Amino acid sequence: MLAYEHQSDGIMRVVERDDPRPQEGELLIDVAAAGICGTDLKIARGEHRFYPPGTMRIPGHETVGVVAENRSGNERFAPGTPVAVAPNIACGTCRPCRRGLGNLCENYESVGLTFDGGFATQLLIPAPAVTNGNVMVVPEGLDLAIASLTEPIAAVVRGLRPLTITPDDTLLICGAGPIGLIALLVAKHRGVGKVIVSQTSPHRRSIAEQLGADHTINPRERALPEQVKDLTGGAGADAIIVATPVGQVFTDTLHSAAKGARINFFAGLPSGKGEIPLDANLIHYGELVVTGSTANTNADNAEALDLLAAQPELFAPLITATFPLEEADQAFEAARGGEHLKVLIEPRR
Ligand SMILES: [Zn+2]
Ligand SMILES: [Zn+2]
């Protein structure tokens, strides 16, 4: 098969690989589409902890395809069945797993991180992933390219949950990358009062406006809290999601929050840069709820797939480029630039 592999010299190359052979319990998938994520760009830069120097592995964790061979014993996955793959395989027995936090599993395996992923013509799904429910049948009629948005949407579904958004709320989204824009779409779909998107790039601000943001602001023009207060009659935002890895933005959110607001630090900060000033009194006197979210569970992925099936046209504009596997270098180049939202590799195109 053809694959876009991280090779031992740290360079990603399109290479010929032996076809994977599914063993008892496993599934083999013909990959239809795999989205390029920030994680993959990090791998390509040689900065991902699961890809230390010397690693030979195929990334790609936002994968959809069609079952090629079913040795799982589960008849739902007959050859030809379209499937989306939730990437994180929780062990089910560690403490976080026992508490329903499979995304925080202490021994997790992950498609494209700890074993070969979806930037290839075929993807082998290990037995535990099949039994854990990582493989989801794509509802009939849902385009597979659009279904490849399941995983990033799952991350956002998880990130929005603690914000408990109501139609009375003003939501502030910091960062209009794919994640921030998905948060905008999901929040609008569910009924939110008003959405303010903060973003430095004018191109991304205009996309946010096209996708339904009520207001967009440039935090470089004037301090974020001032602009948010101006747009909310002095109250501040009721719900805030931080989808940009900039420490100053995290600090600013507390000053942009309404009384009783919920804030999710969705983004992580670069390692070693996590300590930032946060005014504890704003949390105390404002009864702010400050939380985080990371990765996603199979349940989050199932919810995301339902959302996509319900309104595929809502999310379709997020896919701005697709490339065949042979042009994976160009696909990554496109994903690195600021112009595109979601870039897909379609290995069977
Ligand atoms: Zn991803
Ligand atoms: Zn676990």
- CATH classification at residue 264: 3.40.50.720
Q: How many angstroms is it from 335 CA to the middle of ligand 1?
A: 12
pLDDT of residue 269: 94
Q: How many angstroms is it from 39 CA to the middle of ligand 1?
A: 6
State whether 85 and 117 are in the same domain. Answer: yes
How far is CA 121 from its chain centroid?
Answer: 22
State whether 202 and 275 are in the same domain. Answer: yes
Q: How many angstroms is it from 183 CA to the middle of ligand 2?
A: 27
Q: How many angstroms is it from 41 CA to the middle of ligand 2?
A: 26
Domain range for 326: 2-137+311-346
**Residue 142, domain member (yes or no):** no
**Residue 147, domain member (yes or no):** no
- Supply the CATH number for residue 29's domain: 3.90.180.10
pLDDT of residue 349: 84
State whether 130 and 204 are in the same domain. Answer: no
Least distant ligand from the CA of 59: 1
State whether 275 and 163 are in the same domain. Answer: yes
As for how many domains the chain has, the answer is 2
State whether 271 and 241 are in the same domain. Answer: yes
Q: Taking the chain (349 residues) in consecutive chunks of 10 residues, what is each chunk's mean pLDDT? A: 97 97 98 97 94 97 98 97 97 96 96 98 98 96 98 98 98 97 97 97 97 98 98 98 97 98 96 95 98 96 97 96 98 94 95
For residue 171, list its beta bridge partners: 195, 239
Q: How many angstroms is it from 88 CA to the middle of ligand 1?
A: 11
State whether 193 and 275 are in the same domain. Answer: yes
Q: How many angstroms is it from 295 CA to the middle of ligand 2?
A: 14
Q: What is the rounded distance in angstroms from the CA atom of residue 263 to the CA atom of residue 252?
A: 11
For residue 307 the two structure tokens come to 């959302």
User: CA dist 167 to 3, 164, 189, 275, Å?
Assistant: 46, 10, 11, 34
State whether 23 and 88 are in the same domain. Answer: yes
**Residue 66, domain member (yes or no):** yes
Which domain-ending residue is among 247, 265, 292?
292
Q: How many angstroms is it from 40 CA to the middle of ligand 1?
A: 8
**Residue 149, domain member (yes or no):** no
State whether 244 and 321 are in the same domain. Answer: no
| Per-residue DSSP letter, 239 | E
Q: How many angstroms is it from 107 CA to the middle of ligand 2?
A: 5
Angle in degrees, CA 242, 227, 341, rounded to 5: 40
**Residue 302, domain member (yes or no):** no
Q: How many angstroms is it from 349 CA to the middle of ligand 2?
A: 37
Q: Ion ligand 2 — residues with CB under 5 Å?
A: 90-91, 94, 97, 105
Q: How many angstroms is it from 297 CA to the middle of ligand 1?
A: 13
**Residue 305, domain member (yes or no):** no
Q: Which amino acid is at 155?
A: A
Residue written as token pair 């690693």: 55
**Residue 303, domain member (yes or no):** no
CA-wise closest residue to 140 among 64, 76, 81: 81
State whether 186 and 122 are in the same domain. Answer: no
pLDDT of residue 338: 81
pTM confidence score: 0.95
**Residue 297, domain member (yes or no):** no
State whether 116 and 233 are in the same domain. Answer: no
H or E element, residue 32: strand 27-35
Q: What is the rounded distance in angstroms from the CA atom of residue 194 to the CA atom of residue 196?
A: 7
State whether 103 and 199 are in the same domain. Answer: no
> Which ranges of the chain would DSSP assign to H, the alpha helix?
38-44, 95-98, 127-132, 144-147, 150-160, 178-190, 202-210, 224-231, 247-256, 280-286, 298-310, 312-315, 328-336
Least distant ligand from the CA of 177: 1
State whether 177 and 246 are in the same domain. Answer: yes
